Structure 1
Amino acid sequence: MARPVVYPDHIEPLVRFVEDTAPERVVAAAHDRLAADTSVKDMLLASALAVVRSSDLPPGHHGGPLHPLAGLHAVRHIAARLPGEYAMLPVIQNVAVANKHIHSPAMGPFILADAQPVSEHDSLEGTLEAFRNAASRGVYNACDHYFLYLVERLSPMQMLDHVLGVAIPKNQLDDHYFLFPVFTWRALEYLGWEYARYVGRAPVRYVTRPTADASLEDVD
């Protein structure tokens, strides 16, 4: 039976705060924590981990973890530029959006399962080929498992390159196929690459979902 992912002890309670706080209370509650002793980085990490674990990607690109993750790079830089308590505002907004998506009936209930890495005969090249093959068929659960194997063996940029190999051909349909993985990787530069095995799963699942056939002529 599948179980939800459980995060490291130092961040799990803050993740549960983002998940469990009632939407009508989350703005004030996030402000109070930031005004006390919770760092911006910890709050944004908790927001990212919460929305990945407890919010599903609906059809299209509005909802789930997409915008909370893709916007995190900008949020942390805006927060760094704002003076005093104004610096809390973009962080609180990110937490509130993540919390809203977690509690939305259109995006949940959802649980990110504690999936295990899967390889093809413990071969890096074989697993990359299996990842590409599964992605071409839209088998996102298989890609999820292959990603967990590959992310332990490739550098961040190597892994992003393979994800974009899947995403770029679909970008003519929706520019989020490029934006979501790229800006999630920018967020991971800040949060720490060790969280890619959780956070990185969302854009991988997004870019490997089946799409309708399209051509540049259709877009034009």
Structure 2
Amino acid sequence: MNHPQSNHRRRSFLKSASAASITLSLAEFSFLGRLPSVSAAESQLPTTAVQFSEDIEPLVRLLEDTPRQKVIETFAEKILSGTSYRQVLAALLLAGVRNVQPRPSVGFKFHAVLVVNSAHLASQSAPPSDRWLPIFWALDYFKSSQARDQQEGDWTMSAVDQSKLPPPHQAKQAFREAMESWDVEAADVAIVSLCQSASATEVFDLLAHYGCRDYRSIGHKSIYVANAYRTLQCIGWRYAEPVLRSLAYAILNHHGEPNPSTSDLGPDAAWRMTQQTLPQLDKGWKFGRVDSGATLSLLDTLRSATPSDAVEATAEMLSSGIAPQSIIDALYLSSGEMLGQQPGIVTLHSATTTNAMQYAFRTAYRDRTRQELLLQNAAFIPYFRQSMQGREKVAAQTINLGSSESSDQASGDATDTSVDKLFQTVSENRGKASAAMLGYLDSGAPPEALIDAARRLVFLKGNDSHDYKFSSAVLEDYYAVSPDFRNAFLASSAYLLPGSQDKNNGLVDRVREAIL
């Protein structure tokens, strides 16, 4: 039995979490200790609908059938009775791919699927006491997306016709032909046969190749490739078939356009340049020298380049002996710079797409696929810049790299700046907060304290899928950027991370009430 004082301390969380100032101690989340710990490692459907294996179908159905207002409480009860983290994560992904159509764009309501891995990454990186919170948020978010899909026609993934599957030895060629001709029906049966016969690594490489070939859906195709594969790495490849069917369907989206295989369309221009350029790359392209000057040169080029220009400039650097890392640093800095120029949905996706493409670059096994990802990532930066022009005003500022007098001053002032104060400033003045974060990091303060605080604020304040997608991407990518540039990159995230004065999302309160 719980001691009355212990219950009182748990209930005090509700009051403290709603306070104007932020306290980022583990004690605030102590009530989560009632849930089983999560280790870092770990109604009838239509007869035509795809069915999942017996081990997961009941949990998926429970998620599908539970009303949104009861989903937190229902799954809290399941978790308390022994349902595991992986089972809940699998149900989230599978319910999404069965119930939410990745059309007319691989975005919008489909973020219920795209955000599953982002929530998982946030969970993995959080203290053990907090790891259920992103999953509870994703459960609630799925229900909102499911409702929207029902309003738009109530799409459900159908069962595949097994009689139409190409034989295993022809699956790869059949899939390539279907993807090249943008044939949805042929791709659907081919990916099932490929999933049943090829290795996960080979399948990922193929999907990464096609996921990066066009800019439609502002990068969401590459994002889905990376996020689907990463989630399957946790829940198990045995659940891959419906996920890969959904993924192939998403990659072939070209809503409102003629067939790209027979048309010369703008979103495919950079891909054509990439394919023409690849034969020019030397076999030693991976073994060049790291050169910060080359990074800054490419950063400047990407500010005004066309997508095709970006491909050409990147290929020239690789051919001249510049290491991929120096190019990658420029891509990260470019995405960070755009955040300050126009904080919003387009520039957010420049960061999340770069995160996805760089994950794929590190994971793909064929040199050609990795080259494609690098060149296409460079091409997407100008595509994003073009998309910015159709929205709000684009500021003329460039990313603060920490070398100016003002940055030196910020660094000097940072000795008296706490993490709490930094995130208070985020709510008040994002430009000032970015400069203060750079000063804090350049002063030698531990980045982990800032990263942990940012993640916890997403748990407390995040309302939209993009809060999870963006934060999981940039907080992970801090360590992928070279030391010379990583502080500037992370500081730019202040333009879109939640601040401590932002309104609470109410999630923590709902979870607390469900488990006490």
State the TM bucket, normalised to the shorter chain: 0.7 to 0.9
2:168–2:194 CA contact under 8 A, matched in 1: no
What amino acid maps onto 1:181 in structure 2?
V
> What is the aligned partner in structure 2 of residue 97 from structure 1?
141
| 190-199 vs 54-63, which moves further | 54-63
What amino acid maps onto 1:22 in structure 2?
P
> What is the aligned partner in structure 2 of residue 157 from structure 1?
201
DSSP 3-state at the match of 1:169: coil
Counterparts in 2 of 1:209 and 1:137: CA distance versus 1, 3 Å? farther
What amino acid maps onto 1:165 in structure 2?
H
What amino acid maps onto 1:111 in structure 2?
T
Identity over aligned pairs, percent: 20
Q: Give the paired residue count.
A: 216
> What is the aligned partner in structure 1 of residue 70 from structure 2?
25
> Residue 5 in 1 paired to residue 50 in 2?
yes
Counterparts in 2 of 1:75 and 1:129: CA distance versus 1, 3 Å? same
> What is the aligned partner in structure 2 of residue 191 from structure 1?
235
Counterparts in 2 of 1:172 and 1:16: CA distance versus 1, 3 Å? closer
Match of 2:248 among 204, 208, 212: 204
- How far 1:83 moved relative to its partner? 4.0
- How far 1:19 moved relative to its partner? 0.4
Alignment of 1:99-138 (within 5 A): 99-104=143-148, 105-117=150-162, 118-120=164-166, 122=167, 124=169, 126-138=170-182
Structure 1 spans left out of the alignment, 5+ residues: none
TM-score by length of 2: 0.39
Counterparts in 2 of 1:173 and 1:90: CA distance versus 1, 3 Å? closer
Q: Which whole-Å CA distance do the structure 2 matches of 1:44 and 1:179 have between them?
A: 18
DSSP 3-state at the match of 1:32: helix
Alignment of 1:70-81 (within 5 A): 70-80=114-124, 81=126
Q: Which whole-Å CA distance do the structure 2 matches of 1:173 and 1:70 have between them?
A: 13
RMSD across aligned C-alpha pairs, in angstroms? 2.5
- How far 1:144 moved relative to its partner? 0.9
Asked which structure has the greater CA Rg, the reply is 2
Considering Cα pairs closer than 8 Å and 6+ residues apart, tell me whether 1 or 2 has the greater RCO.
Answer: 1
Greater share of helix residues, 1 or 2? Answer: 2
Match of 2:113 among 69, 79, 84: 69
1:75–1:90 CA contact under 8 A, matched in 2: yes
What amino acid maps onto 1:59 in structure 2?
P
What amino acid maps onto 1:52 in structure 2?
V
DSSP 3-state at the match of 1:3: coil
> What is the aligned partner in structure 1 of residue 92 from structure 2?
47
Structure 2 spans left out of the alignment, 5+ residues: 1-45, 258-264, 271-305, 308-382, 387-516
Q: Which whole-Å CA distance do the structure 2 matches of 1:18 and 1:183 have between them?
A: 21
TM-score by length of 1: 0.85
- How far 1:172 moved relative to its partner? 6.8
- How far 1:206 moved relative to its partner? 0.3
2:86–2:235 CA contact under 8 A, matched in 1: yes
DSSP 3-state at the match of 2:189: helix
Give a deviation string over 1:154-192, Cα, whole Å, max 9, x none.
111111111222222114762112110121011111110
Q: Which runs of 4+ in 1 moved over 6 A?
A: none
> What is the aligned partner in structure 2 of residue 182 from structure 1?
226
Q: Which whole-Å CA distance do the structure 1 matches of 2:120 and 2:175 have between them?
A: 32
1:48–1:98 CA contact under 8 A, matched in 2: no
- How far 1:151 moved relative to its partner? 0.8
> What is the aligned partner in structure 1 of residue 451 from structure 2?
none
Counterparts in 2 of 1:137 and 1:44: CA distance versus 1, 3 Å? same
Counterparts in 2 of 1:107 and 1:11: CA distance versus 1, 3 Å? farther
